[in-house]
Structure 1
Amino acid sequence: MEKVLLALLPVPFGIGFLAPGPVEEPIASEVAFHFTDPEIVESSGLVAQDGLVVTVNDSGDSNRIFTVDPATGATVGVTRWQGEADDIESLAPAGDGRVWVGDTGDNEHARDTITVTEVPFGRGERAVRGASYELSYGGAPQDAETLLSDPTTGRLYVVTKGVFGRVYAAPEELDPDAVNQLTPVDEVLGIATDGAFLPDGRHVIIRNYTQAAVYTWPDLDRVALLDLPAQQQGEGVAVTADGEILLSSEGQDAEVLRVELPADVRAQLAGTSASPSPSPSPDAATGHDEVVDHTEWWPWALGGLAGAAIIAVLVRSLRPR
């Protein structure tokens, strides 16, 4: 028991570190539509393209995506492709009526490779043979729910779902016959559940369950950190061609929210605009961000010390007199 309690010593610090800071007003939102299809129960990824919205269920579903008309919330098309899904978690635009589907989830950190597949979407039912590519982190397996596609180059990026989100770049050209090596680029918002590029191609938004961060691209300097409106389990974010930001959540008949960046953030984005660059330079992660950046250090440190003191007393009490 003494060993168990000693092993728990870091836990109070971790809990305090992950706890949110002072309550802030979330950004304004309104209901854009809700999914009416009873088959959409765990919207995990979201893409807005060509006046339609594409979503995909979380782990446990088959290889299929849903095309939804945002005017009604009704499913107007389903695309299925070959093979069996492991843990599909993410979507990214691919252009020309296609999306990238990321079978990237790995809660158990047990997968040697993950898979991305390019498939068409649109109205009507279709069964296709999608172009699939295997990716590898080259080290310890990672869980990831965010897939980004650079609108300038088309290059793919995977963002892991750790306490510190890590961005990995895929090769510029994917090889369908070999495992494609991912390269670490930088660190961003932790517990990332989805991300999307803004229409200017020079900024990207990444969300988790309660927050969203906006970054410059390709430097990944953070511009803003925002509190999101409450959702059952918010996991999807998409940006329309007009710049509208949509947020989806797991749950049957779930609402999709429309949010707008605050005026000061929009002004800051206009002021930080720069010429687009092909891609960020793959390099060792430099730690630009954390899971909750507006949290003061002293509350979680004080809470951690208090928890550690309690554990120390328990350890002492268990020793034989």
Structure 2
Amino acid sequence: MKTPIVVLLLFFLVSCVSAQEEVVTSFGEGIAVATLNDDGLDEISGMACSRNIQGLIYVHNDSGGEAAVYVLDSLGNNVGKIELLGTQNRDWEDIAIGPGVDGKFYIYIGEIGDNNAVHEEIVLYRIPEPSVHNSTAQITPERTILKYPGGARDAESLMVDPTSGDIFIISKRDSLNTLYRLAAGKFGSSEAELEELIKLPLTSATAADISADGSQILVKNYLTIYFWKRNPGESVVQAMSRKPKELPYSPEPQGEAIGFLPNGKAFYTLSEKRFDLEPVLYKYTAK
């Protein structure tokens, strides 16, 4: 007897849903990959995994640090540095990788920290992501000066949508952190105002990232990692309007960095050095 076509279609649809869920439904506990003993990397505040060169991780120090992006390997070894010419590190707080208008990958650096909310302007820097690894490099970045609607804010979380190229910043010090957007086409303007979007069910956000395929979103604070699954065709705002899932989090003394691996099957976290505890690179793998 032939199997009815309806049954076959139902089986196909269920299989597709199951396969999609198997891609990522959650992540396991963090596993310590390496302890960073480099005295020059003691205030790491942002990280992003390379899209062009397998196994490399971009990090930076926060306020008062060198105006440079450091390159780590997957074991946490410092293997290079990219100096951003003509800039200073007033308070760099996060880093992300996303597309530019030419379709190439770029490294975005957010000078978005402002503990006392005294700076009327913040700055986003952008440099092309290297296609080959060099131990040292110097580059003059593109930049855009930004303002918040309603006045200065403190923020430590930056992410770029790989689908639209839109740039997102999440405030830190309000009781419900606010999601802001800069449309992709506005980067490069001499000055622009961020668009206020939604309030998120969390506070004290310190880092964020979107997976390379755009289907997963992470935000963390000092105690929790929040995870959103983004459905096909959804905007970032639509996805983040749902209640997030809380993921396992290995405690860190002052964790301010998070970043997906390019395949979206794992992510890293990294802390600043605090209480004489050296930063530990943790890896979380999808179940």
TM-score by length of 1: 0.69
Show the 5 A alignment for 1:104-253: 104-119=112-127, 120=129, 122-162=133-173, 163-188=175-200, 189-217=202-230, 218=236, 219=238, 220=240, 221-242=242-263, 243-251=265-273, 253=278
Q: CA deviation at 1:123?
A: 2.8
- Tell me the CA shift for residue 97 of structure 1: 5.6
Contact 2:98 2:161 in 1 (8 A): no
Distance 1:130 1:93 in 2: 14
The structural deviation recorded for 1:133 is 0.6
SS of aligned partner of 2:186: coil
Q: Deviations over 1:268-303 (max 9, x none)?
A: xxxxxxxxxxxxxxxxxxxxxxxxxxxxxxxxxxxx
Task: Report deviation, 1:83.
Answer: 2.0
Query: Which has the higher Rg, Structure 1 or Structure 2?
Result: 1
Q: Does 1:257 align with 2:278?
A: no
The 8 Å contact of residues 172 and 203 in structure 2, kept in 1 or not, is answered as: yes
Instruction: Summarize deviations over 1:153-205 as a string: whole Å, max 9, x none.
Output: 11101111122111101033125353111011112221100011134412201
Asked if 1:87 is matched to 2:91, the reply is yes
TM-aligned CA deviation for residue 260 of structure 1: 3.2
The unaligned stretches of length 5 or more in structure 1 are 1-25, 264-321
**What are structure 2's unaligned runs of at least 5 residues?**
1-26, 231-235
Alignment CA distance shift 1:27-1:177 (3 Å): closer
CA 1:138–1:175: 2 relative to 1, 3 Å: same
Structure 1 residue 74, shift from structure 2 partner: 1.7
Identical columns (%): 20
What one-letter code is carried by the residue in structure 2 that aligns with 1:69?
A: D
Higher relative contact order (CA 8 A, sep 6+): 1
The aligned amino acid for 1:101 is: I
Which residue identity lines up with residue 105 of structure 1 in the other structure?
A: G
Q: State the distance in 1 between where 2:260 and 2:82 align.
A: 21
Give the AA of the match of 1:156: I
1:28-47 equivalence runs, <5 A: 28-47=29-48
Structure 1: how far apart are the matches of 2:198 and 2:244? 15
Q: 4+ residue runs of structure 1 moved beyond 6 angstroms?
A: none
Aligned to 1:58: 62
* 1:5-41 CA distance string (max 9 Å, x none): xxxxxxxxxxxxxxxxxxxxx9522112233432101
Partner SS for 1:222: coil
Give the equivalent residue in structure 1 for 2:7.
none
Task: Supply the distance in 2 between the matched residues of 1:226 and 1:177 (Cα, whole angstroms).
Answer: 37
- C-alpha contact (below 8 Å) 1:27/1:229 kept by paired residues: no
Question: For this pair of structures, how many residues does the alignment match?
Answer: 236
Matched, 1:75 2:67: no
Please tell me whether the aligned partners of residues 108 and 124 of structure 2 are also in contact (alpha carbons under 8 angstroms): yes
